[in-house]
Structure 1
Amino acid sequence: MENFRLFLVLFVSALSVGFVSIVFVIRWVLYFKEGLAWDGGLAEFNWHPLLVVIGFIFLQGLAIIVYRLPWTWKWSKLRMKFIHAGLNILAFVLAVISLVAVFDFHNAANIPNMYSLHSWVGLAAVILYALQLVLGLAVYLVPATPGFVRAALMPIHVYGGLLIFSSVIATALMGITEKLIFGLKDPKYKDSPPEAVFVNVLGVLLSVFGGLILWIATRPQWKRPSDNQLRLAHSDDLTPAPGANGSASMTTGQELSGEARRRGAGKAEEAAAGKSSI
C-alpha cells in the first residue's frame, strides 16, 4: 500500500474520533437529558441520537472503508463482502429502531411528524439506505449475477454509499441543532449554556469523522487490489529463489504463477467490478 503510515494515522484518527463521538452522545443523553427508557417519553426519544451515532454514522463509516484495510487483503473477497454487508445491515437495524423511538415519542406527546427538513432528509436517507442494501445483496452476494452487471452497477453502488453517508452526517448536524433550539429554554441556545457548547463539540466531532472516512474512501491508491493481483503477488512470494535446485525451483515458480493466472482469468469480470469497490 502506498503511504501506509498516512493511511494508518487517518484510520486510527477516524476510529478515535468515532469512539469519542459515541462517548459524547452517551454523556449528553445520560447527564444533560433524561437518560434512556422505552416509555414514550423524552427518555425514549434519547435512543434516537444514540443509535444514529452508533449505527448510522459510526458503523456505516466502518463499512465504507472496510475493504481498504490492508491487513484484510489476504482474506477472500467473499468474506469481505459478508463483513461489509453485515456492518451495513446492523447499521440499518439501529437506524430503524431510532426512527421507531422518534415516532413513538411524537405520537405519545401529540407532536406532528415529518414537518422539519431534518426529518425529510433523514427519512430519505433511511429509504435510500434500504434500497442500497437490497441492491448490494442482490447484485454482489448472489452468485448468479453476471460479472458485467456487477461492474456496471459498481460506480452507482459506490457513489450511493458516499452520498447516503454524507447525507446522514448533514442530517445529524441538523437534528442536534434542532434539539438544542427546541430543548433549551432557560438559558437559551443563543446564550451558550454548557449543554449547547458540549453538543456543538459533538457536531464538530461528527463532521471530522465524516471527513476522515470520505478521505480514506476516495483515495485511489488505497483501493483493495483485485483478486488477480493478490493471487499473483502471493504466487510471487511463494516462488523459491534459485539455489542448489535452481532450474527446478524456477520451474515450480512458473507453474505457480501460471496456475494463479488461470484461476484469475476465470474471475475477470468479478475483478473488474472489484476495481471500483470501496
Structure 2
Amino acid sequence: MTMENYKLFLFTLSSACVVGILAIIFVLRWVLHFQPGLGWDGGLAEFNWHPVLNVCGFIILQALAIIVYRLPWSWKRSKLTMKIIHASLNLVAYIFAVVATVAVFDYHNLSKIPNMYSLHSWIGMVTLILYCLQLVLGFGLYLMPSTPISWRAAFMPIHVYSGLLLFTSVIAVALMGITEKLIFSLTNPKYNSSPPEAIFVNILGLFLVVFGALILWIATRQSWKRPSEQTLHSLNSKGGDEDGTRVSTVLSQLSDGTEGEAVGETRKRNNKLDDRVN
C-alpha cells in the first residue's frame, strides 16, 4: 500500500529522530558536565535522574508509543501486536516518570526542601496521575477481549486526544522544570547573565519543543494513518506490490485476538470500529 507523501513522512520521522537523540545527548551532557553527575545518594546526583528519566522516558518513549501505528513497515504486523507494543512503550515511559518523581521527592526530603509548591510540580503530578489513568483505561478497553466494541469506538476519540494532550503537557512541564532548575542553581553567574550552562540548557528546551512539534505533526496527519485491516488484507489479496513504498503484508487471517468473536460480519463490523483511529 502506497503511503501518501511517503518521502515527506520519512523526512519528518528522520528529523524527529535526530532532534530526539540530540535532546538525550544534551540532557546527559547537562547532568554529567555542568551538574555533579548521576547517583542515588539523596543528593544532587540523585536529583539529576529527574530530568534524565523524564526526557528519555516520559518524552522520547511516549513519543514512540504515539507514532508506532504510523510506521508503514509496521503495518505487516497484526493490530494486536501493535497494541501490545504501544501499551508497553507507554508503560515503560510511565515507570521512568515514577522513578524520576521518587528521585526528586527523595532529594527534597533529605535536603529539607518543601515538596509540591511550584506550578511545575503541580502540573507534573496531575500529568503523572492522568497518564496512569490513561494506561489503565487503555488496557481495559483495548487489550481486554471482553470489552464491548461499542465502548472502544466511543472512547477512541477521547483516548487519542488525551494522549496527545498528555504528551504536550509533559513537554510543557519539562520546560518549566529546566527553567526553574536553572534559576535556583545558577547563582554565580546568575541565570539572567546567560552563562554557558544556561545557554546549553535553553537549547535543550528548544530541542524538546521541536521534537514535540514533529511528533504531533506525524500523529495528526490523516494521510499517514494506518489503514484498516480490511484494506490491508484486500490489497494483499490483489497482490499489490507495485512500487518500493508498498507494504508487503500477510493478513490471511484477520483475527488479531482483540475481539474474541467468530469470523464473519461481526468481525468485519468490529474491525471497522476498532480501526477508526490508530
Q: Which has the larger helix fraction?
A: 1
Instruction: Report the counterpart of residue 136 of structure 1 in structure 2.
Output: 138
2:215 to 213, 223, 230: 213
Q: Which residue of 2 aligns with 1:155?
A: 157
CA distance 1:46–1:105, shift in 2 (3 Å)? same
Q: How does 1:266-277 map to 2 (within 5 A)?
A: 266-277=267-278
Offset of residue 273 of structure 1: 2.4
1:176-198 CA-partner distances (Å, limit 9, x unpaired): 00000000000000000000000
* Alignment match, 2:238: 236
Contact 1:224 1:275 in 2 (8 A): no
2:178 equivalent to 1:176: yes
Matched residue SS, 2:238: helix
1:49-68 aligned at under 5 Å gives the runs 49-68=51-70
- Superposition misfits of 4+ residues, deviation over 3 angstroms: 262-265
* Identical positions, percent: 62
Cα distance, 1:267 vs. partner? 3.5
Matches within 5 A, 1:62-211: 62-211=64-213
Deviations 1:26-46 (A, max 9, x none): 000000001000000000000
Give yes or no for contact 1:228–1:264 (8 Å, CA) kept in 2: no
Count the aligned residue pairs: 259
Query: Which letter maps to 1:193?
Result: P
1:271 CA displacement: 2.6
Higher radius of gyration, 1 or 2:
1
1:29 is the counterpart of 2:31: yes
> What SS does the aligned partner of 2:239 have?
helix
* Shift in CA distance, 46/87, structure 1 to aligned 2, threshold 3 Å: same
Q: Give the match for residue 2 of structure 1.
A: 4
Task: Say if 1:150 and 1:270, in contact at 8 Å, map to a contact too.
Answer: no
Looking at structure 2, the residues matched to 267 and 64 of structure 1 have their Cα atoms a distance apart, in angstroms, of 25
Q: 1:221 to 1:263 in 2, by over 3 A?
A: farther
Partner amino acid, structure 2, of 1:132? Q
Q: Secondary structure at the match of 1:237?
A: coil
Alpha-carbon contact 1:67-1:223 (below 8 Å) kept: yes
In the alignment, residue 111 of structure 2 is paired with which amino acid?
A
Using CA pairs below 8 Å that are at least 6 residues apart, which structure has the higher relative contact order? 2
TM-score (norm. length: structure 2): 0.90
Gaps of 5+ in 2: 242-252, 255-261
**Aligned-partner Cα distance in 1 for 2:53–2:75:** 30
| Aligned-CA RMSD value | 1.8
- Tell me if the contact between 1:52 and 1:95 (Cα under 8 Å) persists in the aligned partners: yes
Q: Which residue identity is paired with 2:140?
A: A
Q: Is the 1:51–1:94 contact (alpha carbons within 8 Å) kept by the matching residues of 2? A: yes
Query: In the alignment, is the contact (CA less than 8 A) between 1:223 and 1:275 conserved in 2?
Result: no
The one-letter code of the counterpart of 1:58 is: I
Distance across 2 between alignment mates of 1:55 and 1:232: 37
CA shift, 1:146, in A, is 1.4
* Equivalent AA in structure 1 for residue 135 of structure 2: L
CA displacement 1:76-120 (0-9 Å, x = unmatched): 000000000010000000000000000000000000000000001
Q: Is the 8 A contact 1:231 1:264 kept in 2?
A: no
Unaligned runs of 5+ in 1: 240-258
The CA distance in 2 between the partners of 1:237 and 1:163, in whole Å, is 40
Give the C-alpha shift of residue 238 in structure 1.
7.1
Using the alignment, how far apart are the partners of 1:154 and 1:35 within structure 2? Answer: 42
Q: Distance in 1 between matches of 2:62 and 2:136?
A: 15
CA distance in 1, matches of 2:224, 2:151: 24
Pair 1:42-2:44 in alignment: yes
